[in-house]
Structure 1
Amino acid sequence: MTETRTILVAGTWDTKDDELGYMADVIRAQGGRVLTMDVSVLGDPSVPCDISKHQVAEAAGASIAEAIAAEDENVAMQIMARGSAQVAARLQAEGAIHGVVVLGGTMGTDLALDLCSALPLGVPKYVVSTVSFSPMIPPERLPADIQMILWAGGLYGLNSICKASLSQAAGAVLGAARAVELPRRDRPLIGMTSFGKTVLRYMVDLKPALEARGFEVAVFHATGMGGRAFESLAAEGAFAAVLDFAPQEVGNHLFGSAISAGPDRMTAAGQRGVPQAVSIGCYDLVDFVGWNPIPERFAANPTHAHNRLLSSVVLDGPQRRMMARAVMEKLASAKGETVFLLPLEGGNEWDRAGAPLHDAEGLAAYVDEVRKACPPNVRLVEIGAHINDPAFTEAALAVVDGWIGAGLLSKG
């Protein structure tokens, strides 16, 4: 806990000099080191920063003169956003920084999201913002492990109210940098998507079985941010294979839910050629924010209130066909071994025969559309069971064992 860590403190030092300097002082007082980075355009800090605004602009392939000449603060700050992301990524890769804290209003927050997105999962990322948790921040721009704190009372100048936020952020990022256990790479990692055990249970048996084969297994909660983290790691090449058995986020995005992992969900593993098995966990549900009204276009659909945060619309047959086509269109571009496991008796615990959300015709429509839309690069494996039955787990393990036998996947 006493090991020295260096924190990048970034912001517009021309206008937020006092606030940024205060956070830097708190970090130093706690035994940390600081690198300062200026992302301002027009003015200058009272004391030169370790990384000047000119260096930031140059990292974006531009100059401060160009940013000023644009006569558009949005254009100028996007130059600085690109440059700051490049600089932060380089510093982290070199081991020069171990965490970052960025401060700003809407402009600074816009830049902070790009900067933090450039850093790998596990590197502490803190944003102190006047618009933390605001609906103007789209989920797809949030790195999976970002931390935000509201910069209350801090629009202009220091005071005891805003110091409470600034000091928390400074202490938190340093503490996180000291305490974090970064992901290991000593065993091949399999990424899996799922939901809680009340609805999907395959991970309970699959995880220990895969670990016994020498793999590390990370299970991602497919409720928007979980899918974002899953795709981010897949794009980085962190996974030796993926078992993407809960594709519901594809449907969430398709049908306009705010609980989205973005338009690129279910693409990164395929683009990297990583072996992937996909299935139908909660394929029949679209989740919406529970405290908002269900969109009028779904007025005729049954709904399920999971809790006060989350409500699900049960898709009808034509909508399930749309979902099947959307998934197959994504898989059609996959460059690696791709298997679709199709359990013919249902895709979540609530849709079993006799369960409250069972819809035999809807399931039949989905199965039919999968068969029709399955592209030639995808191997379709039909299973005469439910996704939560042992037969599904056995089929999934057979796929993994086949990859191992074919040399597509190496055990740890």
Structure 2
Amino acid sequence: MEDKTILVAGTYDTKDDELGYLAEVIRGQGGKVLSMDVSVLGDPGRPSDISKHEVAEAGGSSIEEAIASGDENSAMQIMGAGAAAKALELYRGGLIDGVIVLGGTMGTDLALDMCAALPVGVPKYIVSTVAFSPLMPPERIPADVQMILWAGGLYGLNSICKASLSQAAGAALGAARAAEPPKRDRPLIGMTSFGKTVLRYMVALKPALEDRGFEVAVFHATGMGGRAFESLAAEGAFAAVMDFAPQEVSNHLFGGLSAGADRMTNAGKSGTPQLVAPGCYDLVDFVGWQEVPAQLKGRETHAHNRLLTSALLDADERRQVAQAICGKLSTARAPVAVLLPAGGCNEWDRPGAPLHDASGLAAFCQAMRACCPENAELHELGCHINDAEFAAKALEIMDGWIASGAVKTG
């Protein structure tokens, strides 16, 4: 039964056999294929369903302009923009159910743009000679992309690379068949947090919000989780956000696990009401198995596990975080409320706890008071972020927004 259609994309002028093999495996499992050629100079051995000319035009350019650029980097960026636009058009038109993109560094560069253009939840696979490589900055990796190393596949088919290609083909088709798209039958609240050992408000808030008719999605704010959160916020997928763990803003400022420069901006741009609190604002996360970044040496640190270590910011750096958060919120096009828990902003930030810094917390609170934008309501609380009083205040504000119609319940 031909039930799902997978878009297979790559440079058909140089990788026709490999791309053809992917298509062969998908069709052999009962799926359908649309082929997309993102070549610039050469032509495929047989016509693709979507030609390189269509791809370039979808990006507002042409193959002639790509060639005339005289530079392979510029040319492939033209094709990347077109491939991203075309893939989204095909998905919105109901013509594809998932994608596979194949390539080396050039194809992977294009694949990142193409997959990032598709909504969270659409199966997207990259078969790459540089899979999982540090060449790829976190902010360019699509939130829910799957990737497999194209081992032994730089030039021509063989039994080694077929193992990777066949797995990717089967995975993409299987994912398209099994995927359960977001239902959107209830308004969605997007919330950021960390595990319950450090932040616990979601334990009380999630059931309370569900009782009010919302669906609640909690995003782990360790870089990629923030990317997924921002991607959905940019789509306007949330009825409101409770962005209570904006540590990725601190990470971006001081060289930690960034979710990108647009962290904490997309809800505001899309007109989504924002409830904000500074959970873990005082920490910068970095890769635990690497050396401490030079700018963070000599700090108090907490090794969360072998993958992740957090470094404590000083008072001046905390002021910079406050200014960054307030600057991002100042452009919001919907209601903004900021909760400022003066008793501490993570479980390690309590009197007697290992990362408590009373003067640093006071400096942050003072900076938030000084630079909180006029479009945001500041609610100072005498409690800790993990206390029941914090969650109760968040619900009180949300209930007010519901009553005023700022947050829709249906």
TM-score of the two chains, using structure 1 as the length reference: 0.98
Alignment partner, residue 230 of structure 1: 229
- TM-superposed deviation, 1:203: 0.2
Gap runs ≥5 in structure 2? none
Corresponding residue for residue 16 of structure 2: 17
Q: Which residue of 2 aligns with 1:270?
A: 268
Partner of 2:138: 139
User: Could you say what secondary structure the match of 2:295 adopts?
Assistant: helix
Distance (Å, rounded) in 2 between the aligned partners of 1:156 and 1:410: 54
Question: What is the distance in 2 between the residues matched to 1:299 and 1:123?
Answer: 41
The whole-number CA distance in structure 1 between the counterparts of 2:12 and 2:296 is: 49
Structure 1 counterpart SS, 2:261:
coil
Per the alignment, residue 389 of structure 1 pairs with 387
Q: Deviations over 1:51-110 (max 9, x none)?
A: 111111221222222222222111211111111111111110010000000000011001
AA aligned opposite 1:178:
R
In the TM superposition, 1:12-411 aligns within 5 A as 12-257=11-256, 259-411=257-409
Question: Are the counterparts in 2 of residues 338 and 377 from structure 1 also a CA contact under 8 Å?
Answer: yes
Q: State the alpha-carbon separation in 2 of the partners of residues 57 and 276 from structure 1.
A: 38
Alpha-carbon RMSD across the aligned residues, in angstroms, is: 1.0
By how many angstroms is 1:8 displaced?
0.4
Greater Cα offset, 395-404 or 329-338? 329-338
Aligned mates of 2:222, 2:401 — CA distance in 1: 28
Retained in 2: the 8 A contact 1:194–1:222? yes
Whole-angstrom CA distance in 2 between matches of 1:185 and 1:351:
37
User: Structure 1 residues 322 and 103, CA, compared in 2 at 3 Å: closer, same or farther?
Assistant: same
Please name the residue that 1:7 is paired with: 6
Q: Measure the CA separation in 2 of the matches of 1:142 and 1:86.
A: 17
Say if 2:276 and 2:338, in contact at 8 Å, map to a contact too: yes
Instruction: Tell me how far 1:30 sits from its aligned partner.
Output: 0.4
Aligned partners of 1:117 and 1:280: how far apart in 2?
28
Residue 3 of structure 1, CA deviation: 6.7
* 1:129-187 superposed Cα distances (whole Å, 9 cap, x missing partner): 00111111111111111011000100000111101100000000000000000111111
8 Å Cα contact 2:236-2:270 kept in structure 1: yes
Question: Deviation at 1:297?
Answer: 2.6
Aligned equivalents of 1:400, 1:68: Cα separation in 2 = 54
Deviation at 1:253, TM superposition (A): 0.2
- Given that residues 3 and 178 in structure 1 are in contact (C-alpha distance below 8 angstroms), is that contact kept between their aligned partners in structure 2? no
For residues 229 and 49 of structure 1, what CA distance do their matches in structure 2 show? 32
Which deviates further from its counterpart, 10-19 or 362-371? 362-371
**Aligned partners of 2:254 and 2:295 also within 8 Å:** no
2:321 and 2:363 mapped to 1: Cα distance? 11
Provide TM-score, normalisation by structure 2. 0.98
Percent identity over the alignment is 70
